[in-house]
Amino acid sequence: MHKKILILFLAVLLSNACDMVKAPDFVGIESINLKKNAKGKLVLVANAKYHNPNLLGGKFKINDVKVFVNDKFFANLNAETYDVPAKEDFTVPLEVDFDKRYFKKDNLLDALNSALKNKLNVQYKGKIYYVSSGLNVPYTIDYTQEVKLYK
């Protein structure tokens, strides 16, 4: 009899714990920067900041974020998965290689104009998904910032 009550109690406790899992709170996007990676290539870097109030961690999946430079499609972010820590603030890096694609013939005037003005208008647009304990929550990202090419 005691085993049945204990099993019933644990089942109720576990089902309530699963219902208490909430999606992490989106805090904002840290500024976008142009940096060199370990291979010497230029990379556009932004960090999406979140706070996870849950006792359990989870995963963030990026698979539908597009990057626009000066209102022109530039690239898709790579499909990646990031661990989400329990009860912590964390960031999800949004990085894309900034390579010769931007300096193609049809973008040359825009690239020259950006160099003269020392700025690029960069936009990240799409969705990031949080997955934990059966929860799958999409976050819409639509963030634009002006980036200095040189200081």
Pairing of strands 135-147, 120-132: antiparallel
Assigned token pair, 59: 């995963």
- pTM of the entire predicted model: 0.65
| Domain ranges across the chain | 22-147
Q: How much of the chain exceeds pLDDT 70, in percent?
A: 69
**Protein fold of 22-147:** Immunoglobulin-like (2.60.40)
Side-chain-side CA neighbours of 15 within 13 Å: the count stands at: 6
Burial class of residue 120 (count of CB atoms within 10 Å of its CB; 0-12, 13-18, 19+): buried
pLDDT in tens, 35-72: 887 888 777 788 888 898 988 888 888 877 888 888 88
